[in-house]
Amino acid sequence: MSLPLARISKVLTFSCVDGPGNRLVLFVQGCNFECPGCHNPHTIGVCNDCGDCVPACPQDALSLVDGRIVFDPTFCDHCDECLRVCPISANPMVQHLTVEDVLALIRSNLAFLSGITVSGGEATLQLKFVITLFRAIKSSPDLAKLTCFVDTNGYLGTYALARLLPVTDGIMMDIKAFADTRHRALTGRGNDKVLASIRMAQAAGKLYELRFLMVPGMNDQDDEIEALIGLVQELGADLRVKLNAFQHHGVKGKARDWPKMTRDGIEATAARLRDAGLSQVVTPTVYL
């Protein structure tokens, strides 16, 4: 049986914002949402080898060989011009890594790490790889101390989520909007699966953080905030809730014309959540 291979858009060998402590983060390539306001739009698509990026690369780090894109990182100067010209929001610079590749990467940075987080794109689209990786970490005496987290949009069905929960120490999950029409406008999909996943992860004691990206005029209305309060009160008022502010950093297309969420708007909402008894409300430290 072949071992799973992951499409990895980017690796951070050190992060203190993708879960608790110091973490190695894998950003997988590909997403089942199409959020106009995505801050990492180049992680949405999967390269179809169209070749549009090849002439756009000023360093000749990309080539088309036998109909497939080939990336040579030794020539790349990280100008990201290939990401800007890609017509399907894909990344031609992906790495294809095995579980053993990732374990070796973890071990080379182990002295500085308290855990690993798989993010995206959408981490759960490569579920087999994630489960195999987490099992390998848990079964390795030198790595078993690490916590294994997933950052997900929550669209994974509950049957598949039930496979992930036993090998995962924590899940960070987003809810984009509570009104279904707003959720579809922000993601292209409904929110029934997301809400079911949130409740299931919390019931299993694995929901580390619930995230709400506030977009002015899209999901900052009173009924949205009241729905957020109601959900957290249902799940447990001590659940960690992270309010994120929509900004233009990395955003492409029509969302570039959306207004930014202000610090005052975030802080007013945070105060409203705290007044409702929510005890762990986190706000951004940086507004880009």
In a domain, residue 15? The reply is yes
Q: Is residue 106 part of a domain?
A: yes
Report the CATH number at residue 225: 3.20.20.70
Model confidence pTM above 0.85: yes
**Residue 121's pLDDT is what?**
94
Number of structural domains in the chain: 2
Model pLDDT, residue 4:
79
- The CATH number linked to 57 is 3.30.70.20
Q: Which helix (H) or strand (E) holds 95?
A: strand 95-98
Sequence-distant (≥ 6) Cβ neighbours of residue 27 within 8 angstroms: 8, 9, 10, 11, 12, 40, 43, 119, 120, 121
Phi, psi angle pair for 152, to nearest 5° = -140, 155
- Best CA proximity match to 239, nearest among 141, 160, 172: 172
Bridge partners (DSSP) listed for residue 119: 27
User: Within this chain, do residues 121 and 202 fall inside the same structural domain, yes or no?
Assistant: yes
- What string of pLDDT tens digits covers the 288 residues of the chain? 556 799 999 999 999 999 999 999 999 999 999 999 999 999 999 999 999 999 999 999 999 999 999 999 999 999 999 999 999 999 999 999 999 999 999 999 999 999 999 999 999 999 999 999 999 999 999 999 999 999 999 999 899 999 999 999 999 999 999 999 999 999 999 999 999 999 999 999 999 999 999 999 999 999 999 999 999 999 999 999 999 999 999 999 999 999 999 999 999 999 999 999 999 999 998 887
Domain enclosing residue 73, as ranges: 48-87
Per the structure block, which two tokens stand in for 78? 């990280």
Q: Taking a C-beta distance cutoff of 8 angstroms, is the pair 191, 153 a contact?
A: no
Residue 2 has what pLDDT? Answer: 57
pLDDT reported for residue 98? 97
Is the same domain home to 38 and 52? no
